[in-house]
Amino acid sequence: MLWASRALCMRAKGQRIPATLLEEWDPVPKPKPHTSDYNRLLQLAMPKAPSEKCIPDRNPCWEVLDVTKKAVASPRIISLAKPKVRKDLNEGYDPYYISRASLLAQASPRLYELATPKSITKKV
């Protein structure tokens, strides 16, 4: 009933009513009662014949060559085959470490001026 009243309000304002608000709208499409050219439909449904140039997929079971079995991987290939070792987020982090530059740094007079606390007078 809510949809019907909304459709009436939209019709009164002169707006176009969407199909979802109309009472005869059905979300499930209905099949057509008769297809005009059923033979053409069957012809379109038939799969295409494979081309003469088409090479079919080879059998997945094939013999591995002896040369391949005797191959030796180089040290570079072996190093690339190993997974990358990742450190944890805080691994190796020292929160109390102070760098040399911080230990040798000297504050400027302006920095001292900014660091002094403001003096606030108390109200009596």
Q: Which two tokens stand for residue 120?
A: 């606030």
Predicted confidence (pLDDT) per residue in 23-65, tens digit: 666 677 776 667 677 888 888 989 998 888 988 888 888 888 9
Amino acid at 27: P
Question: What are the structural domain ranges in the chain?
Answer: 1-25
Tell how far CA 75 is from the center of its chain.
36
More confident residue, 58 or 82: 82
Cβ-based neighbours of 35, under 8 Å, separated by 6 or more: 41
Q: What is the pLDDT of residue 42?
A: 85
> What is d(CA 100, CA 17) in angstroms, rounded to the nearest whole number?
74
Q: Count the alpha carbons within 13 Å of 72 in the hemisphere toward its beta carbon.
A: 2
Query: Average of pLDDT values for 86-111?
Result: 90
pTM of the full structure: 0.27
